[in-house]
Amino acid sequence: MNGFRKFLTQGSVIDLAVAVVVGAAFNAIVQSFVADLLTPLISAFGGLPDFSTLKVTIGQSNFMYGNFINAVISFLIVAAVLYFLVVKPYTHFRDRSAAKIEAKTRDCPECLSEIPKAASRCAFCSEEVTPVTL
């Protein structure tokens, strides 16, 4: 029982649980954005694309392929919203932050040890190196 308790209180399990809850809440926000804002905007320009009535009947079975088309269109809209409103801005922010963090060390050309950029001699092999100004 102690091992199970330790497993449950590990950071990764708790992080995963928090991620699932936040993801579910975020899903509700994105679904509302698509259903309440984007779909009416699209229908204002091109008519409301509702394919739910499309079906093929074979024998006694109805194949509701219109519902599948609606689900694919909804998925594409949600994926586009997530990409342009979350992924792209986050990637831009991350890249700008990473560009600000400049390496303060470099490798010695002789022994490949990590030395400060401003060093004029390697601390490991005593090789003279040209200092790089910060």
Tokens of 53: 């009535």
Tokens of 104: 């303060």
How would residue 108 be classed by pLDDT, with cut points 50, 70 and 90?
A: very high
Weakest mean pLDDT among 45-54, 85-94, 103-112: 45-54
Q: What is the mean pLDDT of the chain?
A: 82
Per-residue pLDDT at 100? 67
- The structure tokens 């050309």 sit at 109
Q: Which of 74, 79, 132 is nearest to 105 (CA)?
A: 132
DSSP secondary-structure letter at 101? S
Per-residue pLDDT at 101? 66
Does this model's pTM top 0.75? My answer is no
**Which residues, at least 6 apart from 82, have a Cβ–Cβ distance to it below 8 Å?**
30
Cite the beta strand spans of the chain per DSSP E: 56-58, 61-63, 105-107, 114-116
How would residue 89 be classed by pLDDT, with cut points 50, 70 and 90?
A: very high
Per-residue pLDDT at 17? 84
The answer to whether 83 and 102 are in contact (CB under 8 A) is no
Kindly tell me if the per-residue pLDDT of 88 is higher than 90: yes
Structural domains present in the chain:
1-105 (1.10.1200.120), 106-133 (no CATH)
Residue 48 gets the label, from left (phi > 0), alpha (psi -120 to 50) or beta, of beta
Per-residue pLDDT at 49? 63
